[in-house]
Amino acid sequence: MPSATPREDLIVSLWPESWSDLVRAGSARPPARLVASLREAEDVNALVTVNPPRSWVGRTVKRTVGRGEPTITSDGAGSVRLVEPVTLRRRRPTEVAKLQRSIAAVGRRLQRQLQRLSVADPAFITFNPFVAGFCDLSWTGSSVYYARDDWTVHPDQQPWWEAHELAYRCMRERAVPVVAVSRAILERIQPEGPSFVLPNGIDADEWLVPPPPPKWVDDLPRPLFVYVGMLDGRLDPLALEALTARYPAGSVVLAGPLLAGHQLAEIAQRPNVHVVRPEDRPAVVGLISTADVCIVPHRRTPLTEAMNPLKLYEYLAAGRPTASVDLEGCRDIDPSVVLCAESADFGAAAEAALDAGPMDEGTRRSFIDRNRWIRRHEQLRAMLREQADPAR
């Protein structure tokens, strides 16, 4: 009689989003995909999801007004819990030494809290570089830092860039295992422990039979060019100008939030540019799936050079022709992607993608199968198991 598959306890430490942030965002981001995969796994005994540290006052206020964290249910055989570490500070310290002490203290409290839950030699996956760099994780069975971005150049993290640099240095000194969505991130962290590139992926169930597009798409002139994501400083106005000038009778849809006064606001006023906020995740999938060409018109910056755009995998999962600025994280994903070296040539790149046309169905399904999130997560768990039992 075959022996039963060993069941494992796993901890996923979220950052920078909390679980409620991920739910509101549509659960498409890598941490949410990882939690979804693990909660469905039959070989997971207990899954504990840990929110980023929040102030006690802030958490109490949110709960009082009915904005507390949603529960996480299990679709597998194990149990699922959500843990919310708290601090007495209202704001994260910007002084490096204070932040290091604060995070280390949170880590010690978290260890005691998790041990009370009776998790046994857990595998610990953290998206939080401060937890990976400043916390003692020797009590875990295995651990890994999962790097989604290079936070040392992320504009939202500018007050803490120095702290991120120190966290990277601490990871090197302690040989913390690291997986990163791009080689550029690994090169910036320079880990001394086990490491490999773990690219973004896709949820096959979401893309095999996409939902219909939003109704308003029917009123837009074709060809339809679609960008989905944050409308912020990563977008290149020059590339968008080149595209809108080449197709004045077409439609360029920028799907995401645009801040008032942003440099893209002027482009958004053009008659062939449409800034929209898709109402839910199915609307995003439907919009992508009806595009004539999907686009990645990013600027070339240290931040974008380190990215492995999730949207690019989703564009290709829909089988859509795709044009992208030539960034390292956009290369070698699929040969159908038309890469553009210069912003001024982006319109020509989009035209080349349009002329190439969509993937055939067999090629599309093969791309989906190769890039399933579950395959990525199996690689991640294999790394953790090897740490826990090097003889495997």
Tell me: pLDDT of 75 over 60. Answer: no
Indicate the pLDDT class of residue 264, thresholds 50, 70 and 90: confident
Burial letters for 99-115: b for 16+ Cβ neighbours within 10 Å, e otherwise? bbebbebbbeebbeebe
* DSSP per position, 119-157: --S-EEEE--HHHHHHS--TTSSEEEEEESS-TTS-GGG
Q: Do the Cβ atoms of 302 and 216 come closer than 8 Å?
A: no
Looking at residue 123, what is its pLDDT? Answer: 97
Listing DSSP states for 1-19 in one string gives: -PPPPP-EEEEEE--SS-H
pLDDT band of residue 366 (cuts 50, 70, 90) is very high
pLDDT of residue 13: 98
**pLDDT (0 to 100) of residue 60:** 63
| CA neighbor of 131 nearest in space, from 34, 27, 51 | 51
Residue of 245, 236, 246 lying closest to 254 (CA atoms): 236
Residues 6+ apart with CB under 8 A from 333: 199, 312, 313, 316
What is each CA distance from 230 to 113, 255, 277, 296, in whole angstroms? 36, 8, 10, 11
Q: Comparing C-alpha atoms, which of 255, 227, 258 is closest to residue 350?
A: 227
pLDDT of 391 over the 90 cut: no
Name 95's Cβ contacts closer than 8 Å, sequence gap at least 6: none
Pick from 15-19, 75-79, 163-167, 175-179: least confident: 75-79
Q: What is the DSSP letter of 296?
A: E
Say yes or no to pLDDT of 219 above 70: yes
Q: Supply φ then ψ for residue 337, to 5 degrees.
A: -70, 125
Please give the mean pLDDT across all residues of the chain.
Answer: 92
Across the range 285-311, mean pLDDT stands at 97
Q: Sign of the CA dihedral 272, 349, 314, 263?
A: negative
Give pLDDT, residue 241: 96
Q: Is the pLDDT of residue 64 over 90?
A: no
Give the C-alpha separation, 251 to 247, whole Å. Answer: 8
- In this prediction, residues 256-261 reach a mean pLDDT of 76
Number of H helices, E strands in the chain: 16, 15
Per-residue pLDDT band at 132 (split at 50, 70, 90):
very high
pLDDT digits (tens, 9 = 90+) for 304-350: 999 999 999 999 999 999 999 999 999 999 999 999 999 999 999 99
Q: 115-124, 258-267, 276-285: lowest mean pLDDT where?
A: 258-267
Residue 59 has a pLDDT of: 60
Q: Is 196 helix (H, G, I), strand (E, B) or coil?
A: strand
Percent of the chain with pLDDT over 70: 92
Q: What is the pLDDT of residue 332?
A: 92
- pLDDT of 2 over the 50 cut: no
Query: Given a cut of 80, is residue 83 above it in pLDDT?
Result: yes
70 vs 226: which has the higher pLDDT: 226
Give the mean model confidence (pLDDT) for residues 257-264.
Answer: 75
> Per residue in 6-21, pLDDT tens?
789 999 999 999 999 9
How wide is the angle at C-alpha 242 spanned by C-alphas 239 and 247, nearest 5°? 130
- Give me the mean pLDDT over the 286-312 stretch: 97
pLDDT of residue 44: 94
Matching residue, tokens 């993937």? 359
Contact of 302 with 316, CB cutoff 8 Å = no
The b/e string for 19-34 (b: 16+ C-beta within 10 A; e otherwise) is bebbeeeeebbbbbbb
Q: Is the pTM of this model over 0.95?
A: no
For helices 96-116 and 161-173, the axis angle rounded to 10 degrees is 60
Least confident segment among 66-70, 365-369, 381-385: 66-70
Res. 221: pLDDT tops 90: yes
Pairing of strands 293-296, 338-340: unpaired
- pLDDT confidence of residue 1: 41
| Residue 285's pLDDT band (cuts 50, 70, 90) | very high
Question: For the chain, what percent of residues have pLDDT higher than 90?
Answer: 80
Q: Are 170 and 291 in contact (CB under 8 A)?
A: no
